[in-house]
Every structure is written in structure tokens, then in C-alpha cells.
Amino acid sequence: MLAVRPEVVVVVGAGAAFGIRFGAGDAGNLASFGVPVEIPFHGRVRPGGQRLPLAHTLGAWLLDEAAFAGTRVGVAPGELGGLLPSLPGPVGVLAMGDGSARRTLKAPGYLDDAAAPFDAAVAAALRSGDAAALATLDADEGERLLAAGVPTWRAVGAALTGRDITARLRYDDAPFGVGYLVAEWVVA
């Protein structure tokens, strides 16, 4: 994503309330996962800054690891479509969300035979750049299968339907019984 040198990267993920945007001075942490690290969304943490949801905390960490120094904006899935047209280009979108957490017996949600096919359909859409397929994912089925990424994927799909997309699926596996997918899309 950073190869196109975006002026702005939008981190979109669940956990943010509609109307809330994250930016410089906001922060999250990974203490609940046994890693007592404070991660600023961008720049330094400021007193009174907003607390980041997990998706945005991990997105900020990934952008830090990649040394992205440009503007960052964090939003809820429902805000993506309205925000993108207002940003200067090029723009990167870092869509954060897990696949089903019901892929194995030891998964957080226990095994559900519908989980692997659901994640396979998401992987196929990501692999082929099928934004319309993402936009029409069944939200209720995603919630039942504990697929936290569904609202984010639906928002990205809706924002990009009809656009020319070059896609590449980089990772598709379910360690710990949770579906993880990594894809890159370049939109013309």
C-alpha cells in the first residue's frame, strides 16, 4: 500500500463509534493481550486523547512498523464511503478485521462447519478484487460466525464497487481457529 506513496492512510475497523475519527494524539494499548505497550495513532499521545479500539491500535502499529509518516485518519466502517472522496490522493486504506473465529474445535467460538466456506468466499473476493462480493457479505452470518471483519469488508466493498481493482491475496490461514486474510488492492 505504501509503494504508491499515499498522502493519507485511512485505517478502518470495528470498534469505533459512528462520527468518531482518530488522529494525532489518540492512542491504544495491547495490555489486555499481555503486551503493556501504548501505541499512539500518530505522533505523540496527548492528554485527553481518545482511546483507540483494537483494530485501529493494530493499524497504527503496522503503519509505525512500515515507517509511514504521512497523515492518518481512523474511522468506523460506516464512515469510509463518505470520507474517501474528500481526501487528497493518492489514498491508502488499511482495512482491519478478522475472519471467522469458529474454524476449529479450539477456536474462540468453537467449530462451526459454515466458518471455513464463509472465509473462503471472502478470500475469493479479496483474491479477485470483487468489491461487490464484499459489499454484499451477509452481516448476520458474519456475526454468527464471529467474523469481526465483515462490517469493514462490506464498507470497503461498497466504497470500491465499480472501480478497476488489481488484487493479490497474500495470506489466508486460520491459526488458533481464527481466519486471517491479508490482501492488497490497487484501485485505478
What is the pLDDT confidence band of residue 81, given thresholds at 50, 70 and 90? very high
Number of domains comprising the chain: 2
Shared domain check, 103 and 87? no
Give CA separation, 90 vs 6, 39, 58, 81, 120, in Å: 5, 25, 22, 16, 30
* This model's pTM is above 0.95: no
Average pLDDT (58-82) is 96
Asked whether the predicted pLDDT for residue 88 surpasses 90, the reply is no
Per-residue pLDDT tens for 92-128? 999 999 999 999 999 999 999 999 999 999 999 999 9
Shared domain check, 7 and 89? yes
Maximum alpha-carbon separation in the chain: 47
Shared domain check, 86 and 23? yes
- Closest to 134 in 3D by CA, of 144, 123, 145, 143: 123
Shared domain check, 102 and 78? no
- Closest to 168 in 3D by CA, of 142, 186, 151, 143: 186
Burial class (CB in 10 A: 0-12, 13-18, 19+), 62: middle
Domain endpoint, select from 68, 95, 122? 95
Shared domain check, 75 and 112? no
Shared domain check, 6 and 91? yes
Cα separation of 98 and 119, whole Å?
Answer: 10
Shared domain check, 91 and 128? no
Asked whether the predicted pLDDT for residue 4 surpasses 90, the reply is no
Shared domain check, 119 and 87? no
- In which domain, by residue range, is 180 found? 97-187
Shared domain check, 51 and 118? no
Cα separation of 61 and 42, whole Å?
Answer: 10
Domain endpoint, select from 95, 127, 158? 95
β-pairing verdict for 35-40 and 71-75:
unpaired
